Amino acid sequence: MTIANKASRAPKKLSMKQRYQVLTRDLDWEPTYVDPKDVFPHTEFEGITIHDWSKWEDPFRLTVDAYCKYQAEKDKRLYAVLDGFAQSQGHLTLTDASYLNAMKLFLQGVTPLEYQAHRNFAYLARHLNGPGPRFASLCQSIDELRHTQTEIHTLSNDNKYYSGFHNFQQMHDRVWYLSVPKSFFGDALASGPFEFLIAIGFSFEYLLTNLLFVPFMSGASFNGDLPTMTFGFSAQSDESRHMTLGLEAIKFLLEQDEANVPTVQAWIDKWFWRGYRVTALIAQMLDYMLPRKVMSWKEAFELYFEEQMLKGLFADLAFYGITPPRHVEDAIAEKEILSHQVYWTLYQFSHAAAFTTSVPTAEHEKWLAETYPETFDKLYKELWDKERENIAGGGRHFVRGLPQLCQVCQIPMLFTEPGDPTTICQRESEFKGEKFQTCSNGCQWIFEREPEKYVQAWLPVHQIYQGSCGGPTVPDVLAWYGVQEGDSGEHRGSLDDRRWQEWHADSVKEGN
Amino acid sequence: MPVKSIGTYDFPSRSRQELYGDDQLVHVWFQGNPWFCAAACYRAPKAMRWGDFWSQLVVPWAEEDPDFDPGARYAWSLHGQPLSPGDDETLEALGVVHKDVIGMRVEAG
Q: pLDDT of A141-169, one tens digit each?
A: 999 999 999 999 999 999 999 999 999 99
Residue of A nearest to B60 (CA): A400
Q: Phi/psi zone of residue B21: left (φ > 0), alpha (ψ -120 to 50 degrees), beta?
A: left
Beta partners for B69? none
Q: Cα dist. A391→A133, A385, A396, B68 in Å? A: 57, 10, 5, 16
- Which residues of B fall within a CB distance of 8 Å from A413? 38-39
**Would an 8 Å CB–CB cutoff place A389 in contact with chain B?**
yes
Tell me the mean pLDDT in the region A181-200: 97
- A255 in Cβ contact with A55 (< 8 Å): yes
- Give pLDDT tens digits for A63-77: 888 889 999 999 999
Query: What is the model's pLDDT at position A509?
Result: 63
- A227 in Cβ contact with A154 (< 8 Å): yes
Q: How many CB atoms lie within 10 A of CB B83?
A: 16
**Superfamily designation of domain B19-106:** Phenol hydroxylase (3.10.20.560)
Q: For A247, what's the count of Cα atoms within 13 Å in the CB-facing half-sphere?
A: 18
Confidence of residue A57 (pLDDT cuts 50, 70, 90): confident
Does the predicted interface ipTM exceed a cut of 0.90? yes
Sheet holding B74-78, edge to edge: A402-403, B40-45, B23-30, B100-106, B74-78, B81-83
Answer whether A456 sits within 8 Å of B101, measured CB to CB.
Answer: no
Mean pLDDT lowest among A7-16, A244-253, A501-510: A7-16
Tell me the mean pLDDT in the region A220-243: 90
Query: What is the model's pLDDT at position A506?
Result: 73
The residue with greater pLDDT, A20 or A329, is A329
Answer whether A404 sits within 8 Å of B40, measured CB to CB.
Answer: yes
| Residue ranges covered by each domain of chain B | 19-106
Query: What is the model's pLDDT at position A331?
Result: 97
Answer whether B101 sits within 8 Å of A398, measured CB to CB.
Answer: no
Is it the case that residue B109 has pLDDT exceeding 80?
no
Short-list A360, A354, A230, A218, CA closest to A282: A218
Confidence of residue A6 (pLDDT cuts 50, 70, 90): low
Query: What is the model's pLDDT at position A4?
Result: 52
Tell me the mean pLDDT in the region B33-56: 98
Interface test mutation site (partner A, options B4, B11, B14, B15, max chain A beta carbons within 10 A): B15
Which of B11, B29, B61 has the CB atom closest to A401's CB atom? B61
Per-residue HEC secondary structure of A170-210 comes to HHHHHCHHHHHHHHHHHHHHCCCHHHHHHHHHHHHHHHCHH
Beta strands (DSSP E) in A66-174 are: none
Long-range contacts of A52-57 (CB under 8 A, 24+ apart): A52/A256, A53/A128, A53/A129, A53/A130, A53/A131, A53/A132, A53/A133, A54/A25, A54/A130, A54/A132, A55/A252, A55/A255, A55/A256, A56/A130, A56/A132, A56/A133, A56/A248, A56/A252, A57/A132, A57/A248, A57/A252
Is it the case that residue A8 has pLDDT exceeding 90?
no
Short-list A223, A232, A229, A226, CA closest to A98: A223
| Radius of gyration from C-alpha coordinates of chain A | 25
Which of A402, A412, A432 has the CB atom closest to B37's CB atom? A412
Which of B27, B66, B100 has the CB atom closest to A395's CB atom? B66
- A445 in Cβ contact with A327 (< 8 Å): yes
Query: What is the model's pLDDT at position A22?
Result: 83
- Which residues of B fall within a CB distance of 8 Å from A341? 37
- Give pLDDT tens digits for A257-287: 999 999 999 999 999 999 999 999 999 999 9
Q: Cα dist. A111→A22, A28, A150, A353 in Å? A: 34, 33, 10, 17
**A392 Cβ neighbours under 8 A, 6+ residues apart:** none
Confidence of residue A510 (pLDDT cuts 50, 70, 90): low
Domains of chain A listed by start with CATH number:
53-509 (1.10.620.20)
- Give pLDDT tens digits for B69-79: 999 999 999 99
Is it the case that residue B106 has pLDDT exceeding 70?
yes
Q: What gap in Å lies between CA B35 and CA B107, rounded to an integer?
A: 17
Find the helix packing angle between A226-256 and A260-284, rounded to 10°.
160
